[in-house]
Amino acid sequence: MPTPPALDRLVADLPADVVVTDPDRMGGYRFDRSQDPDAGVPLAVVRAESTQHVQTAVRWAAEHRVPIITRGAGTGLSGGSSALDGCLVVSTERMRRIEVDPATRTCTVQPGLLNSEVKAAAAAEGLWYPPDPSSFEICSIGGNVATNAGGLCCVKYGVTMDYVLGMTVVLVDGTAVTLGGPRVKDVAGLSLTKLFVGSEGTLGIVTEIVLRLLPQPRPATTLVATFPTVVGATASVVEITRTMRPSMLELMDGATINAVEDMTRMGLDRDAGALLVVQSDEPSSHAREELEAVAAVCERHGATEIMHTDDPDEGEAFVAARRLAIPAVERKGSLLLEDVGVPVPQLGALVEGVAGIAEDNGVLIAVVAHAGDGNTHPLLVFDPADADQTARARTAYGQVMELAISLGGTITGEHGVGRLKKPWLASQLGPEAMELNHRIKAALDPHGLLNPGTVFESRGTPG
């Protein structure tokens, strides 16, 4: 723990108001959206405005062996940016520059910009940044890179990683390294750019990102299919993905539908067991053809109602409903939020297994899914005032991850391991891959200063 004079030096080395040490003002930097009750109290918060500020902060922290927690918009769902007692929080909220280059179809962006702001800046030039976490209006692009965030478009357009062409990253010794650039193909040296994507602040602090952009997609045509049970919906998804590439393929189960309907009163079928929202952005006649094929599959698997619309606003209403799933279910109680994924053919087994876990533990689990990717979000609802229910929810939380692993799946498809899923990582990866993770971590952060306790326990110690 540094002495106060040391902290004075940090304050002196950075412009006024960059360093926050007032406990009240630091309160907003302790938690991410997972609201981890174990979040600590930072020593100071650096609201960096540049790569240089980050370098100054990191050098100071390294000198004094102070753990560094990097933080974007604080919308993480796995506790990956919860503060630790005595840590230095590096917030990127003030790093908000963006430059869109239509000639290379890329943008260069600082990490503090929101995903929606990146999308908007690209759209102003007729371009498109595809990755679209449901939280795209409140999550930062730096956080997206840190977790390799996904979203609804991934089923056709891939994840954040697929769009990161380059970056500047500050290492724990304060060196700023530039990797890659606005080049679609570049194999000079090891693939280090991709290594930092999804590293959750454990290897370095990303201060600038070069993103690939696409031309704007065509307006999507939407199909909404209602099923009496979730079984028919998951079976439809498995069949659709074998031969088709819809631009969206999302699932809500009955509990989610009801929670969203409680919030929106948009007229969703409260008796439905599941709902699929499917989009195609092919040229219109082909989109109709593709969605007719989707409809035929859904009918074969027992869909009771199928609605088509070419109207982008009408379609967007269903997509917006899907995006509301987490906040809607959150109204029912506190959430433990899963992000488990499986190979698509196991989707039915996963969803049915989750229902069994809910029943066994007597807890409500609503399921919403990026179904076309096999990536589901079982949302465990509990009352934190009810200790017994809380304990049962925690038991179920682990069981869902164990189920996903047993089905050849992953404990996290797009939210990151953070602190909350760390206990299950080794049983997914196995000892050899865990050892390899530790080796890379030790090579880049020998003293374990970067986001300690996130993803895995570092073998290095700050002390």
Number of Cβ within a 10 Å radius of residue 305: 12
Smallest gap from Cβ 197 to a copy of itself, in A, equals 6
Give the binding range for a copy of itself (CB under 8 A) out of 32-40, 52-60, 147-155, 256-264.
Answer: 147-155
Give the binding range for a copy of itself (CB under 8 A) out of 16-24, 260-268, 282-290, 384-392.
Answer: 282-290
- Residues in 355-414 at the binding interface with a copy of itself, rule: CB under 8 A: 370, 373-375, 408-414
- Residues in 105-144 at the binding interface with a copy of itself, rule: CB under 8 A: 105-106, 126
How far, in Å, CA of 331 to CA of 138, rounded? 18
Q: Is 191 in the site for a copy of itself (CB under 8 A)?
A: yes
Total number of residues that touch a copy of itself (CB under 8 A): 90
CB contact at 8 A, 261 and 268: yes
Smallest gap from Cβ 86 to a copy of itself, in A, equals 26
How far, in Å, CA of 152 to CA of 58, rounded? 35
Give the binding range for a copy of itself (CB under 8 A) out of 13-21, 40-48, 195-203, 391-399.
Answer: 195-203
- Of these, 15, 27, 28, 343, which contacts a copy of itself (CB under 8 A)? 343
Residues with Cβ within 8 Å of 217's Cβ and at least 6 positions away in sequence, in order, are: 128, 247, 281
How far, in Å, CA of 76 to CA of 230, rounded? 28
- Residues in 304-323 at the binding interface with a copy of itself, rule: CB under 8 A: none
- Residues in 407-426 at the binding interface with a copy of itself, rule: CB under 8 A: 408-417, 421, 425
- Residues in 212-271 at the binding interface with a copy of itself, rule: CB under 8 A: 214-215, 238, 241-245
- Of these, 176, 263, 293, 296, which contacts a copy of itself (CB under 8 A)? 176
Complex with a copy of itself: residue 235 or 357, whichever CB lies closer:
235
Smallest gap from Cβ 239 to a copy of itself, in A, equals 9
Smallest gap from Cβ 308 to a copy of itself, in A, equals 19
Give the binding range for a copy of itself (CB under 8 A) out of 20-28, 36-44, 187-195, 229-237.
Answer: 187-195
Q: Is 148 in the site for a copy of itself (CB under 8 A)?
A: yes
Q: Is 436 in the site for a copy of itself (CB under 8 A)?
A: yes
- Of these, 179, 237, 329, 351, which contacts a copy of itself (CB under 8 A)? 179
Q: Is 52 in the site for a copy of itself (CB under 8 A)?
A: no
How far, in Å, CA of 188 to CA of 67, rounded? 33
Q: Is 208 in the site for a copy of itself (CB under 8 A)?
A: no
Complex with a copy of itself: residue 193 or 258, whichever CB lies closer:
193
